[in-house]
Structure 1
């Protein structure tokens, strides 16, 4: 067959696009398919103990029991009766076995300024508790510290707490696999670069592998969403610290307050919050950096518990529908609705997702002809449902006809998966 273009044209195009090819391969590798927690629980730095997760699980179950049980609570927050009946035993098992998926020990706003001696002691004690829980197998899958910000007033204290915590863990047996480090109140790229430098220096000082210390960036200042130069600063984060940024976590109340939004109207569903999160979402799409929504400070306790549970369940569902599979929880009584809303979300979409995936290799079957991008989304949906416990591995294999490795490959075709997620 005859073609008209000389070979030099293709060579010229390859040369022109070489930098684009490198950028797409390195900066936009896609999600790696590993587990992402559905929430992050924040507790004050001086309150953590090795048995904290089980204590929160017991308190969560007791709170649900006060509402008539998990199935009754699910019905009250708007879950369909058939789904409520299906998820109630799954949520009960979850709260008994793994009530916390991610724990962040807070030495920032929740802890405050108590002087260096007190904070030093509390940070080391927290690390000792993490090491003990990890050794005993009772630690959450993801666990770590939020230290003070790299703003001038708190920078030295933040760096010292980070150093003490990581060093104490190394000295007491090593870092947990799911170690999470959270850098709050980021305003500039320079602060992200400084944190990456601190991580590199710690790795070298403690003999850790290069890249072992990754960290989350909290998006809670307007300057990170829109910089002084008119550019979305957050879009450059992944590129100034390659491989270091694990996630972006939205800070509902700091961000809202910085915009002058009155306290009664501060919420993770405020239009200003939605704008910031949409910028975050676009900024890290394809980079492998995970997203987390913020928290609700309306706690389900006392006479207003029922209304607060309905609000929390609705906000959790809303975040999931908008592509934020993770959020913050601040109280044990929020755990029942965190898992009820999350499990209901995955169970509601399960029949359609599994049915469409069943026909993924047969494009003549089924009523919907799915594009590869939709197949990736369907497989990712099922994987996240399995990873959090809303869908069992047996159900996934039975109803999709695909094992977890195949689902992982479909969800993340640019990655190599050697183990079941």
Structure 2
């Protein structure tokens, strides 16, 4: 999908939780579809050592249909250097794959080049051209500087600032959430401007032992405007699913607010109040987004 400033939540993917699984980890792959994640990212990059790249590519032929059978989305994270990326794409653009996770994207031009290769492979293999979407990882200072153009690139569905790699590229001693906050905010702003999905939360993706801390990080991500996050451990998945879904209280409030608004409209009233507060268009829009997200989650479960 190409970025646009007039895209609603229905045009975004439902990626509350994206679970990384090494493509060669047969035991994890076999159970990945049962973890409840909205999407599973079969990894060819960081979790695969250099001498295991070929085996990981070969494993996709079995891993993709195994994960796809569970009904969630299947993405593949490829490598960044072109000598690795091209064979990764050859192996990844197959039936069942709905997205590619692209690391260390630092320019829109890089996305254009990837798009051309993917389009050629889709056409050659009788796959719907354009169906595979991109989940973009911005992990360098240059990528942050180019975030607005990157978010508007071809096929971009979601974008996230990768804290660990970004901290290293910025020369930080550690990925301090407070230090990284303005860079992450820049990526979220770029996503909203382009009409694509902002992903991410403050803190480390590696935090899976203290799930209460991880929950607070995920909830902070949602308050900041993100629509989902990534996980490296199955225990993180239900935390993300809950954090990036509207609560029962939010749903009840949205339902009541919209009912009051629609009743007032039917009566020809120009001003509407609900629970002691005036209702205007932004408040109504937020309520509708909450109920639309509720319905999308229910459809996924169904």
> TM-score normalized by structure 1?
0.62
Q: Please give the alpha-carbon distance, in whole angstroms, between the structure 2 residues aligned to 1:203 and 1:40.
A: 24
Shift of 1:271: 2.7
Q: Which of 90, 98, 101 is 1:163 aligned to? A: 90
Gaps of 5+ in 1: 1-24, 58-98, 227-232, 301-307, 394-421
Give 2:293's aligned residue.
384
What's 2:96 paired with?
Answer: 175
User: Secondary structure of the residue that 1:360 maps to in structure 2?
Assistant: helix
Aligned to 2:267: none
* TM-score, with structure 2 as normaliser: 0.84
Assess if the C-alpha contact under 8 Å between 2:90 and 2:121 holds in 1: yes
* Kept in 2: contact 1:199–1:214 (CA 8 A): no
Tell me how many residue pairs correspond in the alignment: 289
How far apart, CA to CA, are the structure 1 residues paired with 2:127 and 2:156?
17
- Following the alignment from structure 1 to structure 2, what is the Cα–Cα distance between the partners of residues 384 and 362? 23
1:292 matched to 2:199? The reply is yes
The residue number in structure 2 matching 1:213 is 132
Aligned counterparts of 1:375 and 1:126: Cα–Cα separation in 2: 44
Distance in 2 separating the partners of 1:252 and 1:41:
17
| Residue 271 to residue 26, structure 1, CA distance change in 2 (3 Å) | closer
- Does the 8 Å contact 1:353/1:378 carry over to 2? yes
Tell me the C-alpha RMSD between the 2 structures. 2.8
Partner of 2:23: 45
Which of 333, 343, 351 matches 2:252?
351
Counterpart contact for 1:148–1:158, Cα < 8 Å? yes
Cα pair distance change 1:111/1:204, threshold 3 Å: same
Structure label with greater radius of gyration: 1
The residue aligned with 1:369 is 278
User: Post-superposition shift, 1:239?
Assistant: 4.0
Of Structure 1 and Structure 2, which has the larger fraction of its residues in strand?
2
Deviations 1:37-70 (A, max 9, x none): 2111112221145532266x4xxxxxxxxxxxxx
Deviations 1:210-265 (A, max 9, x none): 32232121111111112xxxxxx111124453xx11110221100112122213xx
Measured at CA, do residues 338 and 216 of structure 1 come closer, stay the same or move farther in structure 2, by a change above 3 Å?
Answer: closer
* Structure 1: distance between partners of 2:86 and 2:110: 12
**Conserved in 2, the CA contact under 8 Å of 1:30 and 1:286?**
no
Q: Which runs of 4+ in 1 moved over 6 A?
A: none
